[in-house]
Structure 1
Amino acid sequence: MTPETQTLPVPTFSRSDNGTQYRDLNGNGIMDPFEDPSLPPQERAADLTLRLSLEEKAGLMFHTVIETGTDGSLLETPGNISKSPTSTVILGKFMNHFNVHALGSARAAARWSNSLQKLAESTPHGIPVTISTDPRHAFIENSGVSFTAAHFSQWPEPIGLAAIRSSDLIRRFAEIARQEYTAVGIRAALHPTVDLATEPRWCRQAGTFGQDSDLSAAYVVDYLQGFQGTKLGPGSVACTTKHFPGGGAQRDGEDAHFPYGREQVYPGGRFHEHLAPFRTAIAEKTSAIMPYYGMPVGVELDGEPVEEVGFGYNKQIITGLLRDKLGFDGVVLSDWELVNDNLVGDQVLPARAWGVEHLTAPERMLKIINAGVDQFGGEECTELLIGLVRDGLVSEERIDESVRRLLLVKFQLGLFDNPYVDEDAAERTVGNADFRRQGHSAQARSVTVLANRTHDGGTSLPLSGSPSIYVEGLDSASLAGFGTPAESPETADIAVIRLFSPWDHRDDLFLEKHFHAGSLDFPPGLISRLQSLAERVPLIIDVRLDRPAVLTPLAGFASALVGTFGVSDTALLDALFGRILPEGKLPFEIPRSMDAVRVSRPDVAGDTENPLFPFGHGLRLPV
């Protein structure tokens, strides 16, 4: 790359009277305390807080989605997700926290990040932008949850990492993801998710570490240390641990993104079990905490009933429990769009104002502020917050509390001293061959062998030789080096079928089609067809377990049955042939029937009667 085709952006530095190099962000020719790199971040944040206008303070308290333009340019025409042009939110609303969705190549992503930071220098105090992201290293593409890896190295979903049962691997993943994020200017992670996968129907289990509270608490330590380090610094990615105080105990497994899933219930009395991983994350200095959308039903804390409103509105949960009892003094970032409805095309996703649907937008915002939230996720209505202050409903001192916390993170990350990245380094780092190799290995290792037999009492796996393979749900091109594609089951030595865990297909509300909810039963026609197939050829079935499935019928006729949690076709074949030994152990139990699921308690791990495969089940292949 020649200088003509890439100019590495660098900050413009000045020299103070004592020779200190600094960035004159407010352009006054003086090294003010917030610009002094030798001062502690706390002092710099406190100094800058006092200098900001109300409008600048309000901008800091909003964290919304942003989209990138073509080949790393800034997007000045709102797209399908972002609500306003980039210059409007940065220069007009003084916002500087953005959740990026689709990204181009590593070079384009780095170029866009640098352009964003350059634009931010034009604001009165040059406050740098913090770019955040949902998980983007695995397979699930859902703009409300996560993104496929694309140019980044590809790994199992978090629940697949947990299936391997290796703290070292989780830490290594986090270290690699941190390097790839920082290379393109992403400095905040809207993860990890430490909700417990205790309700088999809940649609967000793939992003968790499974059903076990102790394992989730242990793995969050490795995850945070890999991303943040022992403390936040210029090489760190600041993590938002979610969804406080635990989002897995959903009534009927429905998700709180949607009105019909707003209730979290604890019939087994396990509220504190769901809370445990957050205690660990707080002790490990997670930078931020995100409360979930759900509203607690029938919960008491210290003998007092908890108000039945969404956790982001709930003062007992955020101030009473999180701040006062657990001692968390980091950033509390609300989940997305608690204040306003989200209109996308001809679809709507109602504001997740559960329990306070009757309140106006300003009233909702006031209740969120009073609950103890620092930042509004998914919103850019800064004028509402400014209005609450000017009307005397919120004090500027209360605003300053949140502003100091938000600025402190930026100073700790070193963004004020240099927010720019090197495009060449980004291209070398993101998705490099070594990172991809490690991700591929982790995928194969996470494969979980549930059943493995032949009709004569032997085992079907590992596969060997170069068999003729009939496939469904796999790309036949992935068979290269493993076997030859068969046109029909009758001409095959073996059949390998990949299925998705079943779900009820819905598409009324925005995002609804991406959330796999409802029954865990496979349709009877599919079961009948697969059983017929098994009568003609030995049948290996893989089920992509983004949540459990009722596998009882399949287990009756499959020669081998495996579960995967974010695994490519090639990585699956590497595991089936034993070239990379599968090590997976179930991170949640597999229920025997939907009847057992319906009578289980949503907050209790492993609560379905006589499960087909218990938590921790996973066979080893003969070597």
Structure 2
Amino acid sequence: MKKIVYLIAAVSLMVSCQQQTVETEQDRFVSELMSRMTLEEKIGQLNLITPGGGIPTGSVVSTGVEEKVKAGKVGGIFGIYGPEKVRQAQTLAVEESRLGIPMLFGSDIIHGYKTTFPIPLGLSGSWDLELIEETARMAAKEATADGIFWNFSPMVDIARDPRWGRVAEGAGEDAYLGSQVAKAMVRGYQGDDLGSSTTMMATVKHMALYGASEAGRDYNTVDMSRQRMFNDYLPPYKAAVDAGVGCVMSSFNDVDGIPATGNKWLLTDLLRSQWGFDGFVVSDYTSVNEMIAHGLGDLQAVSALSLKAGLDMDMVGEGFLTTLEKSLEEGKISEEDINTACRRVLEAKYKLGLFEDPYRYNDITRPVKDILTEENRALARKAAAHSFVLLKNEKEVLPLEKTGTIALVGPLANSKNNMLGTWAPTGNPQLSIAVLEGIKNAAGKGVRILHAKGANISDDPEFAKKINVFGPRIEIDERSPETLLKEALAISARADVIVAVVGEASEMSGESSSRTNLLLPESQKRLVRELAKTGKPLVLVTMSGRPLALVEENELATAMLQTWHPGIEAGNAIADVLFGAYNPSGKLTMTFPRNVGQVPIYYSHRATGRPQEGDEFTKFKSNYLDVSNTPLFPFGYGLSYTDFEYKNLSLSVDVLTAAEVLDVSVELTNTGDYDGEEVVQLYVRDLVASVTRPVKELKGFKKVWLKKGETKTIRFKLTADELAFYNFNLERVAESGEFQVFVGADSNAALQQVFTFVE
């Protein structure tokens, strides 16, 4: 045993020495380079620009790009892709600037590059961390093949208000699940070697609390207690930092009254001093400049404030480039402030291997080998199918038989333009598989498919104009709504089953796409009502970038399958699930409300002194007069074509000490007629604490495959760390007392046991 201990110690010492050597070499290289840089060149490294005309991500573009690059006034660039174009731009920096410092090339690779995966909210619904990591790894491989090696992803903002359009870009409402997804995506993008030509630097965003914008309105103010920050909103950012993320992006909103981009407590005290982050911080798109509108001064003032707060790179606004020299002369910042930020940017370039080979990502043979391959599309198809959530399945109408006649209707049934979803600027919608095409591919000769549009996504041309900024997403048919409806009803009358594909256009969610109405547009609601009147089995395939209020649709439909926006293989993946080639296993990562008046609604709410017990209205309890407290579909919810039975929940001990591990086990049996996967979820409630605690918190989950009739024992481990929280003094503590453990298929898990924790 001693030999093993000594060997481990020796290996650890050797690894430590190697790391120290690398750090010393990096420090030496960067210090020597900086000793030759002028003040203007150092400030230039803090400038991130976009030339426009490439990948659209914002409303402002940079000017005089070529001249600035040659003058050493650009540290990074985005909106350019393709190995030849990237090499051409990099050549300007490496061969025509005085010191030849290479640039960073970035982009928003949010859910895939050219091979587009489901939107992140959908991907999180798979509850499959290995799959999520694999999609990030594939995205990195594709993007780097096209010359992009710095990614503005993952977005890890916790979001509990579906009015906010950017819920589509995150992993939902839960801090624990969000943290696991954040780590998986960072691992996927960055891999084990950041200097590899197939990995890319990840950027966790948006630091911080952006998902809690008041009224669900994008870019709006955020105000919350520090305790809520630390317990509910900050964990995914920290998880990404702990996973080694190379970059952090500041958010648009304010935090404690100070915009995040200029918030020293956030970017330095918390991020660096408490969490130990050693990468660089970039602003969001012109968020430095936008601090003027926040009321914090002119461009010079807010630029100085941001630099001193810990911001290292200014995205597009060029406030650093144009004002920092003057602020230095006036004593508002120090040369050390500039040097610190410059060093962090240069260190990132060193870690990426750019000083060794600035053209390592410019291999012109890679795009054809690595982008949009059959393997990549197969992964996109798998990821999409695994992300779908079966919300309802009466009379076991699903899976569909490969016989008879199917009426396929709805404005999204044959709409390539809406399959990729929001924030897919690098994808080509015309390469996506529409639902009609996918169903034809899967149905075979025994199925007759009749198709009709049935309705527009919306009949409102003014609304459509807002949605169609990046291309046609809502296309209002030349035919009248009445004509479209009659056509759909005519083919439905000849069908055995109706499949209606309805929901949001892709740009009805995402950035600058907040909504106060969570209903389907009236044009589609009318279609669903009339289809239901036919008496035929009605399968609703719903697409959206957010939870919708689907009370009426849930009552009218025989079955409902939530498919988010599924990505490039949308139609094939939907057909896989509808016909039973894959048994749906997705679970919701955001609660679906009954109406917008319940918002924000989330499962881990705190206890109240007057809780409503059950759904029956009781006066002077915490409830509504016009609707129950319960959501339409709870967090963690999702059905399968088979049935699962939970029983025999067991705890290894009744009393847990801080040094021990609590083993939790439950028996899971597939009692249905299909093989399938189930996401087993473990929740904990702290019954007595020094502050009010949530009624339930997710603390573990496992995705389990069972053949029909098979039983498995599923095991979890709970430690004091899972029981800990931030108290009133922001101390992370696990307090003695009683705890409940719940295990089941969703956040309404019924099986429960109690144990006592002793500090």
TM range (shorter): 0.7 to 0.9
The 3 A distance-change label for structure 1 pair 196 and 46 is same
Hey, what's the Cα distance between the residues in 2 that align with 1:49 and 1:538? 70
Aligned-partner SS, 2:377:
helix
What does the per-residue CA deviation read over 1:41-75, in whole Å, with 9 as the maximum and x for residues that have no partner? 232112212211111111111112234679xxxxx
> Which residue of structure 2 lines up, in the alignment, with residue 589 of structure 1?
591
Match of 2:240 among 269, 281, 285: 281
- 1:480 aligned residue: 440
Aligned equivalents of 1:48 and 1:606: distance in 2? 57
Structure 1 counterpart of 2:391: 450
Query: Aligned pair 1:166/2:112, yes or no?
Result: no
Kept in 2: contact 1:66–1:100 (CA 8 A): yes
* 1:177–1:463 distance in 2 versus 1, CA, 3 Å: same
Task: Name the residue aligned to 1:337.
Answer: 286
* 1:486 Cα deviation from its structure 2 partner: 4.1
Q: Which residue of 1 aligns with 2:331?
A: 392
**One-letter code of the match for 1:485?**
L
Q: Among 65, 69, 78, which residue is 1:99 paired with?
A: 78
Distance in 2 (CA, whole Å) between partners of 1:48 and 1:110 is 27
Alignment CA distance shift 1:132-1:265 (3 Å): same
Q: Secondary structure at the match of 1:324?
A: helix
CA distance in 2, matches of 1:504, 1:173: 22
Would the alpha carbon gap of residues 246 and 397 (structure 1) be closer, same or farther in structure 2, given more than 3 Å must change? same
5+ residue gaps, structure 2, are 1-21, 415-435, 453-490, 609-627, 643-673, 675-759
CA distances 1:84-143 after superposition (whole Å, capped 9, x unpaired): 143133124620311226x5xxxxx111111111111211111112111112545xxxxx
Give SS of 1:419's match: coil
Q: Secondary structure at the match of 1:367?
A: helix
Matched, 1:490 2:513: no
Match of 1:291 in 2: 250
Does residue 111 (structure 1) correspond to residue 84 (structure 2)? The answer is: yes
The Cα shift of 1:241 comes to 0.6
RMSD across aligned positions (CA): 3.0
Q: Does 1:364 align with 2:302?
A: yes
Structure 1 residue 501: Cα displacement? 4.2
Question: Aligned residue for 2:28?
Answer: 43
Compare 581-590 and 39-48 and name the one that shifted more: 39-48
TM-score for both structures, normalised by structure 1: 0.79
SS at match of 2:212: coil
Identify if the C-alpha distance between structure 1 residues 267 and 118 changes in structure 2 by more than 3 Å, giving closer, same or farther. closer
SS state of the match for residue 243, structure 1? strand
Verify: 1:470 aligned to 2:411, yes or no.
no
Show the counterpart of 1:254. 217
The 5-angstrom pairing of residues 302-381 of structure 1 reads: 306=256, 308-340=257-289, 351-353=290-292, 355-356=294-295, 359-381=297-319
Residue in 2 that maps onto 1:201 = 163
Contact 1:551/1:592 (CA < 8 Å) preserved in 2?
yes
Larger Rg: 2
Separation of aligned partners in 2, 1:201 and 1:401: 39
Displacement, 1:231? 5.1
Q: For 1:364 and 1:391, locate their aligned partners in 2 and report how far apart those are by CA, in whole Å.
A: 15
| Residue pair 1:504, 1:519 contacting (<8 A) in 2 also | no
Instruction: Give the partner amino acid of 2:635.
Output: F
- CA 1:69–1:230: 2 relative to 1, 3 Å: closer
Q: Contact (CA 8 Å) 1:157, 1:566: kept in 2 or not?
A: yes
Q: Give the distance between the partners of 2:603 and 2:324, measured in 1 at CA.
A: 37
Question: C-alpha deviations, 1:424-452, integer Å up to 9, x for none?
Answer: 12221111111111111111221111001
The 8 Å contact of residues 549 and 590 in structure 1, kept in 2 or not, is answered as yes
Q: Which residue of 2 aligns with 1:134?
A: 108
Residue 323 of structure 1 aligns to which amino acid in structure 2? Answer: R
Give the residue type in structure 1 aligned to 2:338.
I
Moved more, 405-414 or 223-232: 223-232
Cα shift readout 1:260-306 (whole Å, capped 9, x = no counterpart): x233445993543211112221212211111211113xxxxxxxxx4
- Between the aligned partners of 1:538 and 1:197, the Cα distance in structure 2 is 35
Contact 1:173 1:226 in 2 (8 A): yes
Distance 1:243 1:404 in 2: 22
Aligned to 1:11: none
How many aligned positions are there? 527
Query: How many Å apart are 1:470 and its aligned residue?
Result: 2.7
Q: CA deviation at 1:372?
A: 1.4
Name the CA distance, whole Å, in 2 between partners of 1:91 and 1:327: 35
Matches within 5 A, 1:502-517: 515-517=513-515
Corresponding letter in the other structure for 2:577? A
| Greater relative contact order (CA < 8 Å, ≥ 6 in sequence) | 1
Structure 2 distance, partners of 1:196, 1:127, is: 37
- Percent identical pairs in the alignment equals 27
- Contact 1:591–1:609 (Cα < 8 Å) also in 2: no
Q: Does 1:613 align with 2:586?
A: no
**Which residue pairs with 1:216 in the alignment?**
178
Amino acid at match of 1:126: G
Residues 603 and 354 from structure 1, CA distance in 2 versus in 1: closer, same or farther, beyond 3 angstroms? farther
